[in-house]
Each structure stands twice: as structure tokens, then as C-alpha cells.
Chains A and B, each alone.
Chain A
Amino acid sequence: MADTHVHDHGHEHGDGSEQRKAIWKTFFILSAITAVEFLIAFTLGAGLLKVAIFIGLTIVKAFYIVAEFMHLKHETKSLIWSILVPCIFVCWLLVALILEGGSIFDVR
């Protein structure tokens, strides 16, 4: 019983050609974003805008890896939220420690 469920949900596909098409599409998106990141690294001057673009593109890449490659998009809602919600703590830690780093710079 424990093993049979593996074949129950969502994997009832014939030859899997649809899945393979989606995989290659994701690969091209990831490659294109990485290429754009390179372009920006050498064309745009350093500044807040550049950092913001890089972080934005990184989050887009992370979305495609987690949603498509790790299949999270096709899991149940409760699983998706159990994975995403704890990551809020990371954002909190990031803001707290970046501000702390700025304060250390001021007193150094």
C-alpha cells in the first residue's frame, strides 16, 4: 500500500513528451536569464539598480528551479506553503544583519 500511491497522482502520462518539452523550455529560460545577467554585469554601472536587477533575476531563476525541476508547483497547496512560509525567517535575518553590518561600519 505504501508504495502504490507513487503511481496514483499526476504521473499518468503517455510517452512523457509534454514533460520533456516543459523541461527543455525551463532550461532555455534559465540559460537566457544567466546570459542576461552576464550582459548586465558588464554594461550597467555599479549601483542600487544593478543589485536590484540581479536579485530580481535570481528570484526568477529560483522560482523556475523549485517550481519545475523540483516539481513543487504541481504538489498540494499545504506542501507548497510548508516549504515557502519558513523562508520568511531568512528575509528577516537578511534585513536584520545587513542593518547590523551598516552599524558596524559606522563605528569601525
Chain B
Amino acid sequence: MASTATTTSTVKPRLWMGGIEPMKASYGKLMMWFFLISDTFTFSALLVSYGMVRFSYPAYEGAVEDFTFSNLYWPIPEKVYEAVPFLHGVELPLVFVGIMTFILIFSSVTMVLAVEAGHRMDRAAVEKYMLWTLLGGVTFLGCQAWEWAHFIHGTESGTVIRELVNGSWVERTIYGANLVENQYGPPAFADFFFFITGFHGTHVFSGVVLNFLIFYRTATGMYERRGHYEMVEKVGLYWHFVDLVWVFVFTFFYLV
């Protein structure tokens, strides 16, 4: 201890010259932040390209009440997402996706409560809140699975499209959407739906897996033996990021 005291007194410590944490955060936490920045770019690229393609298509002009699906213009989102499970045939625009938003925000709250409990070394509370967070994540994934299934199968009446086949115009009714055809609008609309919500859903899924790992290690007392619950914080950062991305997806995909 005496030797270290003499070295610090002879060499004046400088912020970026080693021995000090300039950002006052652990290596793992910093690396999680920088990973999240790179993930921000990935999601921004997806959402910005959605914006570009949307601006390259004509918008629907006319009264909202008279809106019909067509592959000639970009659809109004509230006319596409209006179904809610168990309420078949009832038009409830954006209600289901609103419920999904609340589920994700709420699971973010329970996650930050788990982090707070970790600071107090309260193992039982960390377990409890991690379970709530897991429940929120799994429920969100279930909702998304239902939404995808509904989007893929389409409405009962479908949409009649005209297309050029071997030099002559033919009319055909299409139901639902996949990567090549789409009853709600231009095929690109469905492509972006699958890619953006799919990429986000994959993030939610890996978040649920990580949350389960954290819950398991808390329950077996690993972090208690280690003396701190910093892993809960790191995975918490990732989970909040998933919530953050959903806030943007919700606005730019469902509202605007």
C-alpha cells in the first residue's frame, strides 16, 4: 500500500492515462452501451428506409371513411391494424397494438424495479420483478405472434388487384400478405412490416432468454455470492433499449 501511495504522489493522475475510470462505469456496462449504439444504427437504417420507400409511393388521398385497400397507394395504418383477438369483425383501430405498447412499457418498469432491488441486495425482490418482466416479454411475443398470423391470413373479403400476366390484364383477389404480395397495399409495405417488427420481435425474444438467465442466476444465489447484481443492470439496459425501439416502431409504423 505504501508503494502505491508514493507512485501516485510522484506521477500526477490524468483522466485518460489509465488507472482511473473516466466514464465511471464498468467495462461490461460501457460495452453494453456501445453495443446498443450499433443496434440503434441497425434499427434506424430499417426505419429510415421505411420512410424513404413510403415517400416514394403515392399517399392515399381522400376521406378516411372511404378508404379501401389497393396496391396503388400506401395504406393508412389505422385501417390495417384494427383487429383484436376474440373480437372478430369488430373494428378497433390500433387498440391491440396499444395494449402491446403498454405491456412492453410495464415490463420495462418491472425491470428497472429489479435493478433497484439489486442495489439493495434484496434477492427475493429481484426474483419477483424478474418474473414479472419475463411475463411481460412472453405476453408481448404472444401478441406479436397473433398479429403476424392475422396479417398473413388477411381479411375475409380480401382485395382485388389488377395485374399484367403474359401481356393481358387479369383481376385476382388476394388475401393477407407475404413477402411478394400484399392485400393491404404495395408489397413493400408488408416487407417492411415483416422485417421491422420481426427484427424487433427477435430482439424481444433474445431479451426474454437473457432475462431468464438472470432470473435463474439470481434464484440460485449466484449474484448474492458475487456480492453485486450488476448483471441485472446490464441486461436491463438491453431490455429498456428493446422498449425504446418499440416506441419508435409504434410511432413510425402504426401512428404516422
Contact surface of A with B, Cβ cutoff 8 Å: 2-3, 5-7, 9, 11, 13, 15-16, 19-20, 23-24, 26-27, 30-31, 34, 37-38, 41-42, 46, 50-51, 54-55, 57-58, 61-62, 65-66, 68-70, 75-76, 78-79, 82-83, 86-87, 89-90, 93-94, 97-98, 100-102, 104-105, 108
Q: How far is the CB of B186 from chain A (nearest CB, A)?
A: 11
Q: How far is the CB of A49 from chain B (nearest CB, A)?
A: 12
Q: How far is the CA of A93 from the CA of B243 in the complex (A)?
A: 23
B247 in contact with A61 (CB, 8 Å): yes
Across the interface, A54 reaches (CB within 8 A) one of B23, B64, B94, B256, namely B256
Task: Known A51-B256, A101-B56; judge A69-B108 contact (CB<8 A).
Answer: yes
Q: Would you list which residues of chain B between 197 and 246 have a CB under 8 Å from chain A?
A: 226-228, 230, 236-237, 240-241, 243-244
B48 in contact with A94 (CB, 8 Å): yes
A12 closest partner in B (C-beta): B119
B24 in contact with A90 (CB, 8 Å): no
A41-B94, A104-B56 known, 14 other contacts, Cβ within 8 Å: A2-B26, A6-B228, A26-B109, A27-B105, A31-B105, A55-B256, A57-B251, A65-B243, A70-B236, A70-B240, A82-B23, A83-B33, A97-B49, A97-B51
Q: How far is the CB of A30 from chain B (nearest CB, A)?
A: 5
Q: Mark B19-32, 1 if CB is under 8 A from A, else 0.
A: 00111111100100
A65 in contact with B247 (CB, 8 Å): yes
A70 in contact with B237 (CB, 8 Å): yes
B243 closest partner in A (C-beta): A65
